Amino acid sequence: MKHSLHKSFVILLAAMVMMVSIIAKPFTANAAETLDIEAESAILVDANTGKILFAKNADVALPPASMTKMMTEYLVWEAIEKGQISWDTTTQISDYPYSISANASFSGIGLEQSKDYKVKDLYNAMAINSDNATSIALAELIAGSEAEFVKMMNKKGEEMGLPDFKFVNSTGLDNESLGKNHPEGTDPNGTNLLSAESAALLAYHLVNDYPESLEVSSMPSTEFDGKEIRNWNHMLPHKTTFLEQFYYEGVDGLKTGYTDLAGYCFTGTAKKNNQRLISVVMQTDSEEKRFEETAKLFNYGFQQFESTEVFPAGHQVKGKSSLPVAKGKEDQVDISIKEGITIPIKPNEKDKYSMEYTINKDLLNKEGKLTAPIKKGEKIGTAQLKYKGENDYGYIIKDSNSTVDVVANETVEKSNWFMLTLGAIGDFFADLFTTVVDWVKGLF
């Protein structure tokens, strides 16, 4: 009897476990698919390919506050790369940044005048502590004035292809707060504007063009002028106990931002294994919320997407594996994609991707044939990756690896003169025969 009861209990327990499993799995899947980000706008981007994994109002231009400094940082790195300045170049502080530094409401670190400051120290204070005065000092050093530096910022934004942006100063403060010091030629009441997409694209260029910048943005704190300054990015491994709740493994940047107008913003980046993600949240309602929402984005990206070779190099699309050739020793030439396409995709979605071929029309004759000679590896056209699923957010960059070259797989030599002559004669009589047949049909 006891054995029977025990057996029944085991069966009942197993059945309950199975039911819980069946119920829980769909719920977990649905929960994973749903991403509710409590921010006015947000975006998540794969930093290797530029593929957008999630977007919410990402094309709406909003005040970015100190996330503006990512552009200032980029131009500092560029000036160093061009040899215009070096990390050891020194500069003194003019009246304008000095007044900003002395104002506690602008997070000033207490710069002194008649003192030489190295570019490296000024950059660290800007990138790590989000200091405004050091940003202005660097802008004046590079361009002569902040007004000229703002022109450089807007020009660089156009070169980068930022879709929605406007820079009026180098810091992200509202021009109204700068008073008479607002950059000449800008609106006294103006403010910088970036969409989440533009902020992410700016970050994409910064971390890919100057990856060394992450060595600075990943520092939880540093020393400036004999004082410790700390990073406002709470997702880094800070020593302070109350910040441990925000720590996220792999985070090494990038830039926080806050003004009354902008709310709490954050452009973050994190790397796990070989995958780097870039996130942006704008106008969250608290300092804590901007990091909590960023963690949601990172969890979604790292847990839901895997870097997958969707199509390998040499892939041939069914029905488009070859093209007809005129005046060649071969009548056909096999074609394929030159490079493989690897992107982050959700598991089990590989079959939702396809390739769309576009052959260069300038290479085709009137009959739609390629003309020999054709060299192996010669570009014939392009192929673009297409996605048939839901929520295709596209790419943050125009020249993404979703479009690759289509090339000839082998060399097709031009046929000799004798064979070309025979072919021409054959074509002549074929055309003549067709003409005669059509004429005879017309008689009846």
The answer to whether 254 and 203 have CB atoms below 8 angstroms apart is: yes
Which residue, chain included where needed, has tokens 């089990």?
348
Identified catalytic residue from 41, 56, 66, 296: 66
66 is catalytic: yes
7 in catalytic set = no
Q: Could you give the CA distance from residue 61 to residue 76 in angstroms, rounded to a whole number?
A: 25
Full 3-state SS string of the chain: CHHHHHHHHHHHHHHHHHHHHHHHHHHHHHHHHCCCCCCCEEEEEECCCCEEEEEECCCCCECCHHHHHHHHHHHHHHHHHCCCCCCCCEECCCHHHHHHHCCHHHCCCCCCCCCCEEHHHHHHHHHHHCCHHHHHHHHHHHHCCHHHHHHHHHHHHHHHCCCCEECCCCCCCCHHHHHHHCCCCCCCCCCCEECHHHHHHHHHHHHHHCCCHHHHHCCCEEEECCEEEECCCCCCCCCCHHHHHHCCCCEEEEEEEEECCCEEEEEEEEEECCEEEEEEEEEECCHHHHHHHHHHHHHHHHHHCEEEEEECCCCCCCCCCEEEEECECCCEEEEEECCCEEEEECCCCHHHEEEEEEECHHHECCCCCEECCECCCCEEEEEEEEECCCCCCCECCCCCCCEEEEEECCCECECCHHHHHHHHHHHHHHHHHHHHHHHHHHHC
Marked catalytic residue, from 51, 56, 69, 166: 69
As a whole number of angstroms, the distance between CA 211 and CA 253 comes to 11
Instruction: Give yes or no: 145 in active site.
Output: no
Tokens found for residue 362:
């300038």
Catalytic residues: 66, 69, 130
